[in-house]
Amino acid sequence: MTTSKLGKYLSGLGLLGLVIFLCVIPFYSTDYIVSVLLDILTWIGLTQSWIILSGFTGYISLGHSAFFGIGAYVMAILWLKLPYPLIILISAMSSMTLAFAIGFPVLRVRGPYFVILTLGLSEFAKYIFINYEVNVKGTVGRILLGVPNIRTLYFSLLIIAIVTILCAYLIKRSRFGYGLFSIKEDEDAAESLGIDTSIYKWLALGISAFFPGAIGATMALRRTYIDPYSVFDPIVSFQIIVMAFFGGIGKLHGPVLGACILTLISEFFWARYPHYYLIILGVILVFIVKIMPSGILGIFDLFGKAGKVVKFVRRK
């Protein structure tokens, strides 16, 4: 008991240290490092919000790019009209509202049908925006002028990422969280134990959509130019999934780790060889799903298990 408590204190202390480090580092490093960290925070936030729906309830979404895109567009439309943190909040609320609006019928669809439906929905949203741009506005995309500097954006994303992780963590340990895990395990059994599964899934979807909205809004400012093809890109959803699975969706720190490692890899490839990067991600996903269903954290588990076996054998 005491060792595990000590461990908790230590890891809490470690986390605090990490947060302080992340708060301080932008003042002592180059723009390039800040931009890499900013990317990492973006993907941490996205995978963590995806976990709230797909990791907890088992409803695998391939449509989170749509929430990202909506957030980006709300930002583009409202930019310079309202204070910037307020627009981020409105963007997040817009994504969430949309999720709530479509949630009930969409979440009635189960299993593989749900997965392909979410992909279809995000493409649908993309084409709606493309049409809106072309036919209503007569433009292709939007340019955002006078955006905040990279350090301001960094801190926005730092806050968003921390809130997302915190939110996922609190849900995971709460009554609500256990309701969601039960849905993942067996929806009918969950219902028969008194869990209002339709409301629970619906809430999870809404919360899960909130954060990509905020992140999309912030990234619109980072990119300064957006169009429907780039912000509703299914590749966003794809990367979220690969990162989450790569890290292991069973635990919360898995996806964080996955986001960190793969973003660093992408830094290496993205600028010059984006297609190699996506091919690598594809291969990683195949590899993970086929061989290591619990992600890279699974490797540590394996080491742990091996260690136990060794100890056990030695004692004999």
Q: Which residues bind another protein (CB under 8 A)?
A: 60, 62, 105-106, 108-109, 111-113, 115-117, 119-121, 123-124, 127-128, 130-131, 134-135, 173-175, 178-179, 181-182, 185-186, 188-197, 234-235, 238, 241-242, 245, 275-276, 278-279, 281-283, 285-286, 289-290, 293
Q: What CA–CA distance (Å, rounded) separates 294 from 299?
A: 8
Give 26-29's long-range contacts (Cβ < 8 A, gap of 24+).
26/151, 26/154, 26/155
Which residue from 76, 81, 53, 82 is spatially nearest to 209, judged by alpha carbons? Answer: 53
Give the CA count within 13 Å in the CB-facing half-sphere of 113: 6
Q: Tell me whether residue 37 or residue 106 sits nearer to another protein (CB atom).
A: 106
Q: Please, are residues 122 and 234 in contact by the beta-carbon 8 Å criterion?
A: yes
Q: Name beta bridge partners: 226.
A: 142
**What burial class does residue 236 get, using C-beta atoms within 10 Å of its C-beta: 0-12 exposed, 13-18 middle, 19+ buried?**
buried
Q: Does residue 67 contact residue 95 with C-beta atoms inside 8 Å?
A: yes
Strand, coil or helix: what is 226?
strand
Confirm if 218 and 160 have CB atoms less than 8 A apart: yes
For another protein, give the closer residue by CB, 38 or 183. Answer: 183
- The minimum distance between CB 65 and another protein, in angstroms, equals 13
Q: In the bound complex, what is the minimum distance in angstroms from residue 273's beta carbon to another protein?
A: 9
**Minimum gap (Å) between residue 29 Cβ and another protein:** 32
- Quote the least distance from Cβ 191 to another protein, whole Å: 5
Nearer Cβ to another protein (10/279): 279
d(CA 228, CA 257): 29
Tokens standing for residue 123: 């493409």
Q: How far is the CB of 136 from another protein (least distance, A)?
A: 11
CB closer to another protein out of 105 and 146: 105
86 versus 286: smaller Cβ distance to another protein:
286
Identify the residue whose tokens are 């986001």: 259
Measured distance CA(185)–CA(96) in Å, rounded: 25
Nearest approach, Cβ of 268 to another protein (angstroms)? 16
- Residue found by looking up tokens 């010059």 in the block: 272
* Cα(99)–Cα(50) distance, integer angstroms: 13
In whole angstroms, the minimum distance from the beta carbon of 8 to another protein comes to 16
Under DSSP, the state recorded for 133 is: I
Of the pair 35, 230, the CB lying nearest another protein is at 230
Which residue number, 16 or 101, has a Cβ lying nearer to another protein? 101
Nearer to another protein, 14 or 111 (CB): 111
Q: How far is the CB of 148 from another protein (least distance, A)?
A: 32
